Structure 1
Amino acid sequence: MFSETEFVNTKHGWLYLCSLTDINVKCRKDSVIVTWKVGQALASYPSRLLLGNCAPSKFSRTSDGGGKAVFHYRLSECRFRQMVTTEMHETSNFSLTSAANSRPEWVRPYLEPAFGALQDYGRLVFSMGLLNDDLSGPALSNVFTLGSFIYVWAAVEQQMHQPLMLYMEECVATNTAVIGPDSQIFPVIANQGCLVDKSSRFLPRSDSSFLLLQLQAFKFAMGSEVYLHCKLVVWDPDDLNEEKKACLNSIGRWELLDDPFQNDLCHCCDSGCRTRKRVLGPLVINSSTSNNDGNKSAFLGKDYS
């Protein structure tokens, strides 16, 4: 079997050799799902894992310190090539090499139903910071030139809590540490997770507890101090919706960071995404207790979203 440190230099660049057991491919009519298990060395740099020119749709850490990258894309993407003959239709993108000399014996599958309950709790600790250009550590300076990239790192420490997905629901840049009536405000993320600046993007996740924003330095409060105010939220990783999402504008269309096949959840970014706002009222304030016969329906909150 090939180890993770074995690479081959080709005319296309350095290729990482892996075992066939590290790759799982599921082909559908118009798309493909590729699951790639990597060791600790590559798990530290998920943005370097590519299928053609496509980054992982989802990346998660494994208990052994490695990671699992999932690529879920249409066959029209990622530089797939199609070859059609009179007998078959083959779609190819990459080749794999394995040193395995024998096939494992077939194991008869069986179904073992399981039932249980999950109960968890824990204090959530949110944090943000700036990373350097190669994402290997904290930024050494907070001074950036116009047009350069600022890497904003957000994280949540879940402690004993069950796994949650971190989102930046809203971010604004201001010229004050505390937002006030006189603050200049520049929106960065709005509409519950929509990245407004088309020159910026979210980078593939290395863990559901982390979110990395590649923000291009913009022309705002030039030469003055700028503060980034963000609202961080966590949610069930398996329940993506219009209220809990991370959307970026790529090549003129909205894309969902964690699952490109659910890009429809980002369509509201150009208008208004669904919220859970409620209106209670009307309320009447009198100077005396002479008239207390109000509209009893005011005690029921109404949904105007």
Structure 2
Amino acid sequence: MMASLWCRALLVSFILLAASSVHADMKLDCKPGMVSLVWTEGRSRVDTSMFRLGNCPPTATSAREATFTVELHDCNFMAMVTGSQLVYSNALTYLSESKGHTFIQPVVCVFERPKEYHPILYDPVFASFGTSNLVFHMALMNEDFSGPAESTLFALGSFIPIMARVDQVTHQPLLLLMEECVATTTPQLHADSLSYQIITNKGCLSDSKRSRSRFEPREVPSEMLLSLQAFRFALGEEVFIHCKLVAWDPEGLDTNKKACNFVHGHGWQLLDNPAFSNLCDCCETSCKSRWTRSTRSGKHGVTQNAVLGPLTITEE
């Protein structure tokens, strides 16, 4: 019965680099609990052993092919529940010793969600929204951000690791920003919702001024890591974190599109280039929008709302 409910697996795969669609071919077979991927490389001087599916090396290689046969709970696959769908996403990358990751190929398996399916710990812990060939993700992570969180219970004062990411398909490289974030006790935002402000003023981590919360240094532009110190809000209740995520032109940072930490003893600091921390000066007042540079113009990026949870903050 379970197998029959999972049989409607759909493949969503995109080539980020136009040249790669000419010189390579990918075959993906999504099955319940397992995925098989064969990448056939048409170009010479490519070491197929340097391909990675998430953090997994190939299970077999030849001069032209890299083959992966792995389980969906391995290789840092991201699992998310969205309505009637169960989605697993990852990325195929190529490691170059001189240039790091020089290739990114999104890998997504979409299944019909079985009626009796319930995530072991939370539903959903991943939020995913797609628009204009961009897919946004937000997830609770373990303490070193190497994989999904194993629990949604966080002791007061401990850190809640949060990852936000945008998968880019045909767009130019974009910078991910967390523009606004608020914690509430409801999965939907309402005007009268009990709330706790986390990120305000177009990217100012206001919670870092009253705690040890911080944006972690970036490893890739399309991803943000937030270490959020568990706060005294709705203790013992279900908490949801609502965020506005923005995929933005990395050359278009200004007072309205930025990521700012408050560093105790030093003041506000711009995450991506401390030399331009003056962009964070408005964090103490009001960072007003300038409509000519708004995402609504379509010239600089795309904005999406996401909700993460539920999670619970406890006294112990």
Q: TM-score, structure 2 length as denominator? A: 0.50
Paired residue secondary structure (1:197): helix
Give the AA of the match of 1:64. S
Check whether the contact 1:256–1:262 (CA below 8 A) recurs between aligned residues.
yes
1:133 aligns with 143
Determine the C-alpha separation between the residues in 1 that align with 2:189 and 2:150.
26
Structure 1 residues 274 and 180, CA, compared in 2 at 3 Å: closer, same or farther? closer
Is residue 2:274 matched to residue 1:260? yes
Q: State which structure, 1 or 2, has the greater radius of gyration over its C-alpha atoms.
A: 1
Which runs of no fewer than 5 residues in structure 1 stay unpaired? Answer: 1-38, 45-60, 69-120, 279-305
Give the AA of the match of 1:146. L
User: Size of the alignment, in residue pairs?
Assistant: 170
Determine the C-alpha separation between the residues in 2 that align with 1:232 and 1:65.
32
Structure 1 residue 124 displacement after superposition: 0.8
- Which 4+ runs in 1 deviate beyond 3 A? 65-68
1:239 aligns with 252
Structure 1 residues 182 and 240, CA, compared in 2 at 3 Å: closer, same or farther? closer
Check whether the contact 2:177–2:203 (CA below 8 A) recurs between aligned residues.
yes
Structure 1 residue 239 displacement after superposition: 2.2
Equivalent of 2:238, from 215, 225, 229?
225
Which runs of no fewer than 5 residues in structure 2 stay unpaired? Answer: 1-49, 56-92, 101-130, 293-316
Structure 1 residue 190 displacement after superposition: 0.3
Paired residue secondary structure (1:134): coil
Structure 1 residues 192 and 221, CA, compared in 2 at 3 Å: closer, same or farther? same
Determine the C-alpha separation between the residues in 2 that align with 1:66 and 1:226.
44
> 1:124-179: CA deviations, max 9, x gaps?
11110011012210000111000000011000011121100000000000011111
Structure 1 residue 182 displacement after superposition: 3.5
Equivalent of 2:226, from 198, 213, 232?
213
Determine the C-alpha separation between the residues in 2 that align with 1:196 and 1:130.
20
Check whether the contact 1:165–1:234 (CA below 8 A) recurs between aligned residues.
yes
Structure 1 residues 277 and 258, CA, compared in 2 at 3 Å: closer, same or farther? same
Structure 1 residue 181 displacement after superposition: 3.6
Paired residue secondary structure (1:154): strand
Indicate the RMSD between aligned Cα atoms, in angstroms. Answer: 2.6
> 1:246-302: CA deviations, max 9, x gaps?
001002400000000000000000001131259xxxxxxxxxxxxxxxxxxxxxxxx
Determine the C-alpha separation between the residues in 1 that align with 2:287 and 2:95.
36
1:203 aligns with 216
The 5 A counterparts of 1:39-54 are: none
Determine the C-alpha separation between the residues in 1 that align with 2:145 and 2:190.
33
1:48 aligns with none
Determine the C-alpha separation between the residues in 2 that align with 1:277 and 1:238.
17
Paired residue secondary structure (1:228): strand
Structure 1 residues 150 and 65, CA, compared in 2 at 3 Å: closer, same or farther? farther
Determine the C-alpha separation between the residues in 1 that align with 2:230 and 2:176.
23
Equivalent of 2:96, from 44, 47, 64?
64
Q: Percent identity?
A: 50
> 1:9-45: CA deviations, max 9, x gaps?
xxxxxxxxxxxxxxxxxxxxxxxxxxxxxx99xxx9x
2:167 aligns with 157
2:134 aligns with 124
2:288 aligns with 274
Check whether the contact 1:122–1:158 (CA below 8 A) recurs between aligned residues.
no
Check whether the contact 1:171–1:229 (CA below 8 A) recurs between aligned residues.
yes
Structure 1 residues 224 and 67, CA, compared in 2 at 3 Å: closer, same or farther? farther
1:73 aligns with none
2:195 aligns with 185
Determine the C-alpha separation between the residues in 1 that align with 2:186 and 2:277.
35
1:146 aligns with 156
Give the AA of the match of 1:156. V
Structure 1 residues 140 and 261, CA, compared in 2 at 3 Å: closer, same or farther? same
Paired residue secondary structure (2:231): coil
Q: TM-score, structure 1 length as denominator? A: 0.52
> 1:214-267: CA deviations, max 9, x gaps?
000000000000000000011111222111100010024000000000000000
Structure 1 residues 141 and 67, CA, compared in 2 at 3 Å: closer, same or farther? farther
- The structure in which a higher percent of residues are strand is 2
Which structure is higher in RCO with an 8 Å CA cutoff and minimum separation 6? 2
